[in-house]
Structure formats: structure tokens, C-alpha cells
Structure 1
């Protein structure tokens, strides 16, 4: 029941770790233990919601802690931007935007030791060979996660062979990547770290009287704010934010494929990508694939440019008609409406009649909590919003 941290952890470190551990424990309880989860076995799969004063059972122990930070302040340059890069549409678009604005952009890839790295491989090789300041940090976090799962008696022993769009227990991977790349950011004097997150990744919800973030905390504006506060307390002069908070997923896809098609060609957004020769290809079967194919088709773009075959495209559109996609409700409905209007989806007539457009999905959205204009540094706001409004219908 103890987690022991060896090293010179100061007051800011200890507060940060306590806060994150408590938050993560509550979120795993709600999202992984109380929701339907095919990886669970035994009594844990039948748990009932029960509000607690604290959800973290372990005591965090810091035997070598210090009261003040032992790390010196960083020297940073506000023009230097690091993008936490993955080969997905959000980081590709973030690079395209900052590069167009003439900023110094460092695309830093977190190289997991397992198959998850496949999703980033096409983009990484292109950036490594053609784009300055590209970096890569190797990390074995996926091996640690797999080892931990084998220690949990309530997780199915065949978890590795079970096909699912969800992870068995873990939720936050962004934090692992962020702390993995921090030494490189310090060495390069980077002042801004960019995370690719859109409008619908900031949620506050409740299961009964248990508050939670819908499993999206590390993609939320609250996470960016918490990390920025921590960096400032440490004297690192680093801020963390997303360029895309005012955009829906559909708008992100639209701007990327229309404005930066050469970047979009390297996109891999798939839970089960695979290698053929030197290139990585999407599986064409998972929820992410049908979402990407659906959005590309809806904006009259060609999914074959990023690796989908005609047969996979047909399968994804049929699956989208049957199963839908994991997006905000308005976004999923608007996507189906667009595809139905273009006769790309085969839907029963009574279903088609219920579909309605949701124009907010193709507009910039400014929300005082989720997506205020102030999430962006002042020097980036006007040029970015001008670009966005060339592709959005309004705001």
C-alpha cells in the first residue's frame, strides 16, 4: 500500500504527484471499474458506484525529499515551440500551422518500445529526413504497463490477445510522454510545448455523485493548466497548451487535408496498424479507422492517400452506418448527416429522416471553461484564428 519515490522531490513535486495520483485513482475507478470493461474478471466486474472521501489507497512516501527544488531554472526562447508528435492528425496540423506562421518548431516523438510506435513511424521518418529540429525519445512505458497488468488478478490473463479500442486499466499516456521529453526541451531551450487536443476533450461529468473527467483528463484544458502551474513552480519557464481547442475533430481533419495535404498523407490514426515493407498501414477495422475514413470522405478527400484500400474504405463506411463513431454526440450526428446527404452511407429511410445538421461542428467554438481565446498566447491568436476561419463556416 505504499509507493516509494527515491530522489530529491521538493514541495512542488510532492503536491503534483499527490494530486495526479488521487485524480487518476478516481478516474480509473469510474471509467475502468464501474463502466463495462471486457478485460475485467471476477467480482471487480460487478462493482457498484460508491462515493469515497479519497480514492487513492496507496500512501506516497518520499524518503529523500527536499523542501526546495534542486534543479536550476531553464533559459527558454518564446519563439521555440515543441510539439508532442505522434503521427496523428492533431500533431500534424499543429506542426503545419506553426510552420506556416514562421515559428521555430521542434517535433518531438515519443518512441514507445512496442507496436504503438507504428502509428508514428511514417510521420517520424518523413520529419527526420526532411524537417529540421525533429527529435525522438525512446521509452519503455508500454512494457511497464503490460507488466503491471499481469500483476492484477482481476484482469483477464489473455488481455494481450483481446481486440478492443480501449486499454484495460490505464488512462493517462500524455503525461508519460511529456515527462519523457522534458530533458530534451530543457536542452533546446524550448518555452512552449504543444499538445494536440480539440474542443470535445474537456469534460466534467459525474457518475452518481462521483465527479470525473470522462477518461479524458490528460487531453483537457485542466491538464494543460495543471502542468503549466507545475512547470512555473519549478522555475522552468515552460507553458503547455493546444492550438486546437476551438476546433471540432471534423474541422481539424478538414484544415489538415485541405491546407497541408502532404502532411496528412503521413497520418496513421489506428489502434492496430501494421507494417508492410517500410511503410505502416492502418487496419481499416477499428473505430478510429472508420472515424478517419468517414471524416475524409465527408470533406471529399481521398483516404487512400494515407494508406486505406478501397475495400477498407467501403468496410469503414458500412461499419460507420451500423455502429457510429466515438465522438461528441453532435459531431457524430453531423458526420452521419453529411455522409448521408452525399449518398455515401446506406441508412434506413426512417433513420435518415432523424438526422439533422449541427452547424456548431463546422464553426469555431469559444467556451469560457473549455476553449477560451486565452488558451492561446496573444501572439498566436489572431494569425491562427484567421487561418481557421478560412475553413470554418464562422464562430
Structure 2
């Protein structure tokens, strides 16, 4: 994959290389070419702030272009804040202490996506056949990937430790663990890549970087902020070939948090170690049809708690831990330097845990000097974590410190920003959290900026669905099994599943109902007739699941709608506006008489909206209760910016995407027709804020 830098009349070329130990690409396959193109593009995302133009030459679709564009903008902002505005020893004096400026757009380069080599190849959309019981551990030899491996292996999951083997010294941190895994686990694999050489070569192209950058000792990279994806995309061919459905990243609670510098929102740490990065990547994989979910199982844990579990439960794995990027070889093993910030931090944490740092390679003199240096030097941990480490060291008499205790560090921590209970798949939560709680001092969640203890294993969110994996139903016409089984968490809010006595009790607890309303009508050549009905009912149940107790009750679906404009298509079942209005009115008045005070109609079909709004007014007039209609049709202006298709309306990108996500076996992508609606006037454009409702007979 050639990288070419052009400065005036001077052009330099370097080659980015990924090597695999087995055949993973078919050079005649458009899918393979597209995947290779996306893999090769990741390094370039670090340089959007500094270039006038970046040309991506390969096979791309709109999903790729959107991801690269969005992530380059995000990375440009992060590079500006963390590498230019904040102190950076690699910058020339003229580039330091620059005034902080907010920008409308941080990517200075114009981006061009071309295909000069593979015009004859086609890129057909399709699902990867993956197994979500198979887990790739993106491995580095550090504590996070080692603990993730040990935990998932212990609870009986199929685990594949896959290493990113950079060509330079960075690989030294992984050597001990890789050799051990290779000898003991046949699923171990690695990808060789020379991205570190490209990064160093690019530093030579940047005029504001010191020429002697290679001689500087620092704990940070000079420029790059988009690094994890260079490795995570690199392992995707192995996931595809081996049917691995989950990619596990080793990030803990302390990895990153959102912050603001003079009005610029950024990440204090690394964006690509945050849960937001995992979610962006998982959404991208879903849109591509790759169906890989990316997450970390360690987000509730502090760095110290991770080490405690690793040392106590998996001492053999901890023996191969190397968290130092300045390791050197001695007697056939990689030995940490004992001098860098990471080494000082690891030595300090192992000491307060009453663990022996020599188990992972530290010599006695390194341990002594590391603790001495720790007293006079800072660590890169976030405030509370560093403070608690220094507090514990002072309590042990290692050195004096005024640092305050932060007992939450030794708890499992959950909050809305960094760590959600449902941030990992449901099948992993119970077994993993039970193990964690054996070593933690309990679980806490943040309430009004304060940590409060709670019973994690009994929390309702333990049963919340994981957002990035859809359960494929067993029968084509059935609802997803999570909805149909009538488990305790669904039965409690499904009106139709209650006995009359249970309904009487429920109505005393909750005064709100959700009424899903849909339609049975044609949805192109590739989608089933019940898209509007299924989506409305599915959404209503998901909304109820997400609500705190007591949850709103979900009324049975009204499957038929006003679809006269589709009457020419066989299979469409339409009812009149009058019939629907009267039917909905009767339902509303019936539940109102039983004590319901609020009705929210979840409408899956846009042309039901006028009739439902009329019925809502009549129910309100005659009963005095609150009634509203939410129409989540595909032309919703809140959804439109998320789509790659302009003027996406009926049976288009959104409805195809929702059906692929929930019921992929009912989608016939081979029959789909690429057709985009064009409007003659902005007032007719559904995606315009100024559009007016209009109707047409097909």
C-alpha cells in the first residue's frame, strides 16, 4: 500500500505493509480489495490537520467514506489539542505555545476518494458469517489483553489472541506473551505491519517536528492519535476467515474522559480508547454487513483493580506482562526498562497490592529506583487514580504524600460516559461481574456527581439488550426470540401477557401506555410487507425496556394502517382513515377508563399520522388524559443526517438497515433496486425543515 507525500515538486513514496501467516485476501474479490483499502487508509487519518489534500485510492463505498471523513475530523481536533496546544517535546520552539483557536472544521485537507486500479471490480454488499461466541483479543502483551484472555477463557468462551506485530521496538512489549500463547494456545495469531516506519517517515515530512525526534525519550507519541484502528482493522481479515464475531479491546475505566480546552471539546486521554470509539466501530461494522461487535470487558475496572485480578487469579499470565515500550532482551526474555512512566506506575501499583514486581521482570534495583522516582515524578493516570495510588503508598510508609484516598478506585465503577452495564454483551455480564466482585470492594454508580453503592447483579440493566448484536430469529415469520419468549423482563410490561389480576395491579403502579401502530404494505422488491408494523412494535418494546421502573405498558400492535396509495401492489392491506380513527379512539377511551393517564402512540407508518393525531385529539377531548403521536418515519429530519442516501424515504436505506439488523433472513439484497427520490422543490423534500405534508396516489 504506497503512501506518497508531495511537497511542491518533490515526491516521496513509502510502502505500508501488512503480512499474514495465512491466506486471507483474494486479489480478484472486490470485497477483499475494499477491506484492504480501508485497512491501508487508517494511518493517514493522523494527518488531516497538516495536509492540503489527501487522496485515497482504492475501492470505497459511502459507509467507508463517512467513517474516514468523520474520524479524520475527530483525530485532527485531538491532534491539535493534545499534540500542538498541550506541551510536546517533539515540537520546534516556533510551534510551541500557540494561541488556542476554535475552528469550524479541524481537518484542513480536502479528501478525495478515487479508484484508479479496480474499476472493473464490483463491491456487492453481503453479511460475513460470524459466530459471536468467538472472541478475538486484540493483544499487546499488556495487563489488559492478558486479563481479557484469562477471563474469557475461564468462562468457557472461544478465545483467539491476535497480536499486532509492528516492525519496530513496540513489538518487544508483546514478545513474552506472544511466545507463551503460541506455545500453549493454537488459536494464537499475529499480523506483521510496518506502520511504525510510516509514522516515523511522516514525522520527517512535518517541518515543525524536531529533526532529532528519534533521539528523544518520551512516554507519548510525537503526533499520532489514531492508533488502535491501525491494529483493529488489520486483524479483520482473520476475523472474517475464522468466523470471529467479537473483537475485545483492552481498555479500562481510566483510559479516557471527555474534556474541554478553551471551548474545544476533546478527550483527556485517547479517543480510540473510549467507549465512543467502540460504538462508532461497531456501528460501522454493522452497516458494512461485517457484523463484528467491538467492546472492552474491563471498562468498569480501574488499572489497579485490573492488576489485582491478574496477579491474584492468573499469575502465570501476569508473569508475561510487559507494559514498557522501552524493553530490551536479556537471556531470551524481554525485560522492562524500569525507568519510564509506565514502569514506575506498574511498580507502584504492584507494591500497594503486595505483589512482587519481579514476577514480570523487574530487578530489585529497578523496583527501588522506580519507587523513589515515583515520589518525585508524575504519572499519566487520571486524577483520582493517581491520588489513590500515592495515598496507598504513603499508608504503607513507602514515602510521605498528602494525596487523598479515593475508595471508588477499588470498586466497579459505572457511569453514563465511560462505563455502562450494557456496554458488553448480555451473556458475558453475569460470569464476569461475579469474578470482578470477588476482588473489588463492591460496585458504585455515579448519581448527581457522587458515587453510590448498589447491588450490581440485581440491577435491571443486567438484562438490558446489547445494542450491537441482533439475535437472529429461528423462524422467518417470528419475532426475535428475546421478544417472544415472554421472559420476566418482557412480560412485566407487555399488556397482552398479563392476567386480568396482574393488569389490575400494574395499572395501579404505572399510568402510561405505548401503543404501536403500523401498516401492511409493499416495501420494494427486497423487504417484507410488515416492516412498518414490526419496527413500531419492536421500537415500543425497546423503549419500555430502556425505561426505569415502573416501566410503561406496551399495548398490542395495531398492524393495519392507511395505505391506499399502495393498493396497486399485491399484499397491501389498507383501512380507511375513518376506520382507523374510530378504532384508535375506542382503544384510547378503553384504557383511559381503566386508569391510564398517558398514551404515547409509536407510529411506524407516516401516512397514519394525520389520522392518529385526529384520534389523539378526540381521546384527549373526551377523557382529559395526555395523548401524543410519535411518527418515526424514514423522512424524520433527525435521522436524515445519519444516512448515506439523500432523500431516503420508503423501503430505502433506513428501513432496509433496521430489517437487516433485526431480521436479516427476510431481506433479499439481491433484489434491491438502487433508486433515489428527487424532489422538484425544497418544500416537497421530506428531509427539509421547511417541507409541507403532501400525498400522492401511486
The TM-score with structure 2 as length reference comes to 0.55
Match of 1:8 in 2: 59
CA displacement 1:229-262 (0-9 Å, x = unmatched): 0000000011000000100000001000000000
| Structure 1 equivalent of residue 436 of structure 2 | 388
Q: How many residue pairs were aligned?
A: 388
In structure 2, the gaps of 5 or more residues are 1-51, 444-698
Give the distance between the partners of 1:46 and 1:202, measured in 2 at CA: 24
Residues 359-389 of structure 1 deviation map (CA, whole Å, 9 limit, x = unaligned): 1000001112210101010000011110000
SS of 2:254's equivalent?
A: helix
Corresponding position of 1:258: 312
Q: Distance in 2 between matches of 1:214 and 1:307?
A: 30
CA positional deviation for 1:115: 0.4
Cα pair 2:393 2:399 within 8 Å, conserved: no
Q: Normalising to structure 1: TM-score of the pair?
A: 0.96
Aligned-pair RMSD on alpha carbons? 1.3
- Cα deviations across residues 39-81 of structure 1 (Å, max 9, x unaligned)? 1004221311000000101111012399x95464210111100
CA displacement 1:243-300 (0-9 Å, x = unmatched): 0010000000100000000000000011211111321000000000000001111101
In structure 2, relative to structure 1, the CA distance for the partners of 1:28 and 1:172 (3 Å cut) is: same
SS at match of 2:412: coil
Match of 1:321 among 369, 375, 386: 375
Contact conserved, 1:86 with 1:110, CA < 8 A, in 2? yes
Aligned to 2:263: 209
Deviations 1:322-356 (A, max 9, x none): 1132111111111111122112x222xxxx3x333
Match of 2:359 among 305, 315, 326: 305
2: CA distance, partners of 1:23 / 1:108: 27
1:103 aligns with 2:157: yes
Q: Distance in 2 between matches of 1:69 and 1:255?
A: 46
- Distance in 1, matches of 2:146 and 2:165, equals 16
Aligned to 2:114: 63
Q: Tell me how far 1:4 sits from its aligned partner.
A: 1.0
Counterparts of 2:233 and 2:132 in 1: how far apart (Å)?
20
**Residue 296 (structure 1) aligns with:** 350
Whole-Å separation in 2 of the counterparts to 1:12 and 1:55:
21
Asked whether the 8 Å contact 1:298–1:339 carries over to 2, the reply is yes
Asked if 1 retains the 8 angstrom alpha-carbon contact of 2:256 and 2:269, the reply is no
2:566 paired residue number: none
SS at match of 1:269: coil
Matched, 1:54 2:105: yes
Which residue of structure 1 lines up, in the alignment, with residue 88 of structure 2? 37
1:178 matched residue in structure 2: 232
Q: Measure the CA separation in 2 of the matches of 1:171 and 1:258.
A: 33
Q: Classify the secondary structure of the residue corresponding to 2:57.
A: coil
CA shift in 2, pair 1:71/1:149, >3 Å: farther
CA contact (8 A) 1:270 1:286 kept: yes
SS in 2 for 1:231: helix
- Decide which of 420, 426, 450 is 1:378's aligned counterpart: 426
Q: Does 1:346 align with 2:399?
A: yes
SS in 1 for 2:247: strand
Preserved CA contact (<8 Å) 1:118 1:274: yes
CA contact (8 A) 2:129 2:243 kept: yes
Q: 1:238 aligns to what?
A: 292
SS of residue in 1 equivalent to 2:191:
strand
* 1:191 counterpart residue number: 245
Larger RCO of the pair (alpha carbons < 8 Å, separation 6+): 1
Distance in 1 between residues matched to 2:137 and 2:322, nearest whole Å: 17
CA distance in 2 between partners of 1:197 and 1:300 (Å): 24
Cα distance between partner residues in 1 of 2:183 and 2:125? 34
